[in-house]
Structures are given as C-alpha cells and as structure tokens.
Structure 1
C-alpha cells in the first residue's frame, strides 16, 4: 500500500487549514485530532486581511465571511461593569488597523475559531482530506523514505511527510525531540467562559470587546455571536470552574442580574514558547506546536495560518517532483524567523498594551522596537534559500504601503489592475503558481516564462502590466518580478537582460532547489 502523502496531527483550525491548502494543491492528507469531536469554544477571534486572502485563493471567501460575527460594535471599551460603559468615550478609530486599500478583502467582523473549523473541515474533505477524531499521535519514527506514525489506538501509519499541528503541548514536537526556548507560561491562570445571554435586551448594542474593572470580576468580555459571549477572568481553585460560580462572576461583570447559560469553561495561561526548529527530517511543526505567543495582537492564529500556507505549496511541489528537498528547508528558514519576530512583538505588547491599542503611539513603538500590528502580520520579509536576490531592510515599521514595494522577500502588494480584459487584484494573478509580472515593454519576460514552463515542467504564468504598476514594484517598463505561489516576490529584474529565459531558469532553480 502506498504511504499517505501527508499526515497532519491536530484537527484544530491550523491543522484543518493545512489540509485545505494541501488539497488546493492536489495533495490528499489525513488529519488526526485527539479530541473526540470539534471544539465548541471560539478561542481566537481576529483574522487579518492576509489570512482572508489565503481563504480567497482556495475559494472559501463566501463561506468564511458567512462565519463572521458582526453583532457587536467594533470598539474596545473599558468599564467597571458592562452596565457602566461610557459610550461617549467611543473613539473614532477604535483599534489599530492597516492602511485601507492594501488588500482585495475586508474583514467582516470577528471570526471565532469554532465557526472557522465548521467551514474548514468540510472544505478539507471536499479537497481530498480524511479527518479522524479521538485518535492521537504517540510515536514517530522516520527514515529517508517516510515517517511511521504510531497512534493511540495501536495503528501504525506510513506517510511521506508528517505535520505537527497539535498545539502548545505538541506530542509530535516531543516525539521529534525538538526543544523549545522562551519564558513559557507567563500569565496568570485564566478561565475562558463561553456563555449565552441576551445582553442586547438590557444594554442595546454592545462593544465587541470590553475590559471589565470590577474588583470581584475583572476580565475581558468578548462578543462571539448572537447572544453568545466569552469572558476571560482569573481563577485560583478548581471550584472556581464550576458553572454556578462562573455564572455569578459573569453577572457581577455585567452589573445586571440576567439569565446566563454556561456552555463551556476552558482554562488557559498566556504562553511564550518557540521551538528551536520547525523541521526535523520529514516532519514539520506549524501553529502553536511551533510557537505560542501571548494573545494581545491576534498574532497567534494568523501566524499559524501563514505557517500552513507556506508549507503546503512547498510540500506539494516536492511531492510532484517539481522541487528539490532544499525547498522544504526554506520552511524553517522563513517561518522560524517570522516566529521570532512575532514572539518579540507579542511580548512587547504584553508588557505595554498601549503599543498595540494606541494608533498614535508611533514614537513609543519606535523607542520600544515595536512594529505597527499590520506589519507584524503582513509586512515581514523572507530571507531564505527560496528567495533569489538581496533582501533589503524594511523601509518602515509603521507604513505597510512603504514596505510592500516589490523588493525580493516582500509580499506582492495588492493593486487593482487590468489583465486579460478584466479588473483583477495583483495578488490573484499568480493563481497559486509561479508568475512573472512584467512591465508594459516586458514581452520578452513573458516569452521566457513560456519557455521555462516547457523546459522545467513547471507552470509559470506571465502577465504584462502598466507603467504605473511597474513603477510601484520598483522596475522599469521592460523589467519584471518573479512571484512565488504564496505571493512573495522571489526575484526582481529592474530592466531587460540579454537572455531572459536563462535568467529566469536560473532563478527558478535557486528558488525550487532543483537544478
């Protein structure tokens, strides 16, 4: 029997997204989740425009947007109780946001993880994945041909590659012997209490997020659906987790004696932990198995989705024989560096929340070494064996538009352009494949892309765009950029060269790790 191409340990949001992205590239997978059923808990809520672009690429935009929660006002309030919220203090710009117009997608609200999972699981199955609940990975052995995965039910599966998406206490990471760095658990023990209550009938519209200051019930109240809420609050004993006690605490935080139905209580602690390596042979770590960060900034889930997105196209190309094994090493090179960045940025915000919540705190962020939140998620640059050409330092840690300048290692900037008689976003032009985007006089580059497509057995799309786009990408009218399947600029030629096919072929050999 042929081995399973990819086994994914962990059926949470990142594991399911990994299966979706692999399936989009034609790779079937098996997802193993140790829980008996999908989690009903919302957990993380914030999805960045970049993450939404991932789902747009795989055709899930409508389903993902339908899962969004927009039953509350997009504002972070601060009050003794919910009954004492001062609406006159609602700011004009309530939360840090990236510049408008830098993505073809717009967030429709909060995206609770349980709702995302309800979209991703069937989508993964539609794309060829199988999902099993109630089974965990207990052992991992590997050789040059594949990985043998021992399961909690006694089975031993054989797979070409293993992906550990099994969370902070990753069994895969432990089985691989990968050590971690970082302070570990840094926050106080906290309860994430999911409850149903009709707050609108008592208070009217509610903020999406309210920091409660009541001394007997301090915490954070978050809207996660119609009459559905979570309250994060500290606890010290097991009795504090009992539903009756949780309901009393919530009513204190609300400042009103309302009916409260406790649905689920999830204990957690803020954690900062980073695996030393994201790859060990044929096994890879993604999401919280690779790194865990503090929640302020909504960096954790978005970083995990980007891990999955980065790894999927690389595994697909290697499995198809279109790339060499060296391409897989670039997964660690790229995503580990991003994880180090995200960990630092999350810890800075944990120590000083103003760095995140105050859009005007530019000087304070600069002094602390903090980046604007939009850059942490969308503005980093890859510097790895899968990038050809020098990677320049960031021109700004505040201005995302300035960072997306067409430099090698940066993400291709979104712009609406005319291509093949239609108005499209530049981020859609590569279509999950390599693409050459050339200036208006760059027909030689397009011809070269066609030649390389035949010679290398690798689909390379080619599009000529106008002079305004070319200037924004840092090239002349006869220049071009090579965009990877994940939308990152792999290489840039400011102008024409003597032999564009040879130049492009050499760059693709470097990027794919296949001479």
Structure 2
C-alpha cells in the first residue's frame, strides 16, 4: 500500500476535491464544513452504519460553539441535556448511598462564553445529527466502502477502494480512527503509551428501578475512586455502564500502541446472552443492584486506555484528523471534542485553497496548529485518568485553545498599545470571545457570534477606524460604533474558525495579510 508514486488520473473511476475517510464525528463534521463551503467532497465509511455506542458522551463548551457554527446546535440542545449530579455509593451488594456532588464545576454566566458547561449527548446521537445536517447540505455517506491503499503525485491522490474501484481526489483526509488505514498506508508511526493496562468495559444498557436524576458511582472497595458507574444518557432511556478492571473477552490481549482494543458490540443469539450475563455479574458484585434489573444490553465494548500521537498530521496531499492522529484516555471528555475541532481547523483552510485561490502553503498550518494542541490534550487526559479525579473544571472546556505561535497569528506594529486594550482583550491566535454589539447605523443589538456564524471570515471594525476596500468575498466587514466587551477601537480580523488573526488600526495591514494568504 504505497503512499507515493505516479498514478494517472485516467485510472480513477470518480473524482472529487476532498475524499474524507471515516464517518465518525470527525469525518462527519469535516464533510459538513466542506459542503457548506461549496467544496466537492466524498465521505466513505468501511462499516455498514454509524457507530452505535455512546462512548464520547460529553460536548465541551468550545465544541458547542463549533456545532453552532455548523448549524446543528439547536438539534444538539434538543436531543441532549446537562450532566446530572453524582450520587456516590458504597461498593458491593447492600452498599448504601454516601453523598451527592457535582462532577462538573458550575460556571458563572459570562457574555464572552454563551455555553458555560458541557452538554451530554451520546456519541451515536451526535453522529446522527451531523449525518442529518450533511444530508441537508446535499451530502451523504458511502457505507461499506473501505480504503485499501493510495498513491499520490504532484496533482492529486488516487485511492483504491475495497470494492475494486478507485477515486481521484485533490486531497484526502483520514478520519478513520486509532487503527487508521490511511495512516498505515502513509507509513506514519504513532508514539505513545498505555495509560492503564487494566481493561475497561463500556456498555449502553437499560436498567430498571434506578433513578435517572443522578450519575450513580460505586466507589472502588480498595480505593477512594470510582469502581463502577451508571450514567443516565440524556435524551435516551439507557445508561452508560463503565466498569474498570473488567473485560467482555474470555482472553483479552493488550491493545497496540496505535489504538485501543477494537470495540465488540453486543451480538445476537448466544454471544449477546454471554455479554449480558457478564454484565449482570459485574452489576451484582460491584453494586447493590440485582441481576434482573439489567433488562437489555444495547451495545458493549472493552478497551484499554492509551495515549498516542501521530509523528505527522500530514504527508503531501493527505491529512490525518481525529483518532487517526491522536488517541486519548476518555477521562475528561477530550477525545471527541479535540477531533471535531481538528475538522473545524482543517475545513476552512481546504475551502480557502480550493474555492478562493489561497496559496496551498496555508494547509501547512493545520499540523503546526493542531499537533502541539493535541499533545497538550493528551497530557491532560492522561493525568485525569491516572489521578482518577471525579471533578471536571474549566481546564476541560477547551475555551483556552489558542494558536498564538501560529504563522497565521499576526502582531501588527499599528495595533493599539496594550494600555488601550481591555484587560480581557484577545491576542492574535486566541479564541475570539462572544460579546454584545451594536452595529453602526442601527440600534439593534447583535452578538458577535451571530456575525461569525457561517463559512466566512469576519472583519470587525470598531469605532472610527477605517475599514479597507477591496477585500475578497470570503471576508465580511461589520462596523461597530463603539468599543464593546474585549474589542477596542481597531480592526479585528477573525478567522473562519473563530480565532483572532490580527488586530490593527491600519487598513493596509489587513490587505497585506490577505495578500499573503493568496501568495
């Protein structure tokens, strides 16, 4: 499965701008973003359907902002719910409830942060909503379509599919998980470690006679740490069961460093009964619940927590995103969120190159921005897993993601002096915080995030600072009469992914920035 070599486009049976491999949250989010930018893309998935389990069930505040921009937030809010308080139980049969506490630290209302805490939504439902959004944008998923290999040349990539056909794409993005076929075809290694050698069972189950107003956690009988958990999944009638130091396999083998153990769903017939019996045994030995309270196993899998990072996120015209590029412990709810934000970072750059004539060097900034951030998130997830902390604070919300060292973050000489900036003013590379605004010439209030929503970049012209003429159509200019929130009297150029690119008082700086993007 070579990743290089000359293969003519005439051999390909179909063509597209971007081939996205893998219809998990990453691939679906990327396909939605590309479609709304007018980029031709094809999304292929080796499986027969979307992943059926709850797995990553928490959407962090920054991801909610991303989903708002992608047009699915209303559906996400309607389908999910806030995290319930934890009810801690004494472990084992007859164990009594001990105390109640909030796992998620509450945040005070803040106009800069419209979504102040994580939102619970099972992964299967997040994927379903993104799939529906993709359909509304005119796209879809080619199921039962895997990748067998690829060859790239100076003009594009020829991908061999497992049905014997080929597809010719200008770019390819591997969003195909920890055991990524695309990454292996490129020969890119992953470096990491096993965070915890003990297997963990995760299952979606229906439980009778257990209240859904709490996240039920049974303390490990040997340690002051969770030993078993049943979390009511918002918007469903199921619980997510988590059992550390347990396995569904008679003989479990260690996961490879480049991926967690493959999930094994509750199959039909005898296998389904075997899995259900194992879960009933866990239920009765670690909790005060009875075996007959477990009514149904919807999905079940075993995994070992690993942390690994791909040596590169790009090889030529092929990119890696999501679990194909980085694997996390589930502790802290960072994996799915980081993956969706990979797609959000890469989508606008591909769109600008393919639809608006930006120089292809813009695509180099994907790895430059996302790889260091993924490494930091891996460290956070690993630390939370090993300390077995039951508290989640602002460090997990991903609102402090910044690209301050990126070549796309410019500190203009004509920027306002620091003493003229609000104390909470964002620096180039920071997430642009939301703020209540009043556009010049109207008394109608508007929030910054309303102006940012869509595939465009935004130039916020505050006060009397003149805005430049002749900007390309992918930048929308909005004039604000007076300084508002963290935005001083100046020109603030905000990238399509909501990060501040440039603050200046000289319109020529904005024109130079745009010219440089176009090479």
TM range (shorter): 0.7 to 0.9
Output the TM-score relative to the length of structure 2.
0.83
CA distances 1:224-262 after superposition (whole Å, capped 9, x unpaired):
244311222233572486321222212444412243112
Correspondent of 1:259 among 269, 281, 293: 293
Matched, 1:40 2:46: no
Q: Give the corresponding residue for 1:73.
A: 84
What runs of 5+ residues in structure 1 fail to find an aligned partner? 360-370, 392-401
Matched, 1:207 2:225: no
Q: Give the corresponding residue for 1:244.
A: 277
CA gap of 1:310–1:352, structure 2 versus 1, over 3 A, is same
CA distance in 2, matches of 1:345, 1:108: 17
Q: Give the corresponding residue for 1:149.
A: 159
Correspondent of 1:227 among 237, 248, 263: 237
Q: Give the corresponding residue for 2:255.
A: none
SS of 1:273 mapped into structure 2? strand
CA distance in 1, matches of 2:180, 2:212: 40
Q: CA RMSD in A?
A: 2.8
Q: Give the corresponding residue for 1:460.
A: 476
CA distances 1:350-388 after superposition (whole Å, capped 9, x unpaired):
23244x7276xxxxxxxxxxx8333x4544334222222
- For CA contacts below 8 A with separation 6 or more, give which structure has more relative contact order: 2
Matched, 1:412 2:432: yes
SS of 2:59 mapped into structure 1? coil
Structure 1 contact 78–210 (Cα < 8 Å) conserved: yes
How far did 1:480 drift?
1.8
CA distances 1:18-61 after superposition (whole Å, capped 9, x unpaired):
11111222223221112112222111111012111112112212
Q: Give the corresponding residue for 2:419.
A: none
How far did 1:318 drift?
0.7
SS of 1:417 mapped into structure 2? strand
CA gap of 1:83–1:74, structure 2 versus 1, over 3 A, is farther
How far did 1:68 drift?
0.6
Q: Give the corresponding residue for 1:363.
A: none
Correspondent of 1:387 among 409, 414, 419: 409
CA distance in 1, matches of 2:174, 2:476: 31
How far did 1:128 drift?
2.6
Structure 2 contact 37–351 (Cα < 8 Å) conserved: yes
Q: Give 1:76-475 correspondences, 5 Å limit.
A: 77=88, 79-80=90-91, 84=95, 86=97, 89-91=99-101, 93-97=102-106, 99-101=108-110, 102-105=112-115, 109-184=119-194, 186-200=196-210, 204-208=211-215, 210-213=217-220, 218-225=227-234, 226-233=236-243, 234-235=245-246, 238-239=249-250, 242-257=275-290, 258-260=292-294, 261-354=296-389, 357=391, 372-374=395-397, 376-389=398-411, 405-419=425-439, 420-431=442-453, 432-442=455-465, 444-445=466-467, 448=468, 451-453=469-471, 456=472, 458-469=474-485, 472-473=486-487, 475=488
CA distance in 2, matches of 1:490, 1:278: 22
How far did 1:428 drift?
2.8
Structure 1 contact 452–460 (Cα < 8 Å) conserved: no
Structure 2 contact 14–166 (Cα < 8 Å) conserved: no
Q: Which has the higher helix share?
A: 1
How far did 1:138 drift?
1.4
Structure 1 contact 34–136 (Cα < 8 Å) conserved: yes
CA distance in 1, matches of 2:117, 2:512: 39
What runs of 5+ residues in structure 2 fail to find an aligned partner? 1-12, 252-273, 414-421
Structure 1 contact 69–108 (Cα < 8 Å) conserved: no
Q: How many equivalent pairs are there? A: 467
CA distance in 2, matches of 1:332, 1:68: 32
CA gap of 1:262–1:403, structure 2 versus 1, over 3 A, is farther
How far did 1:191 drift?
1.6
Q: Give the corresponding residue for 2:69.
A: 57
How far did 1:165 drift?
0.6
How far did 1:465 drift?
4.6
How far did 1:486 drift?
0.8
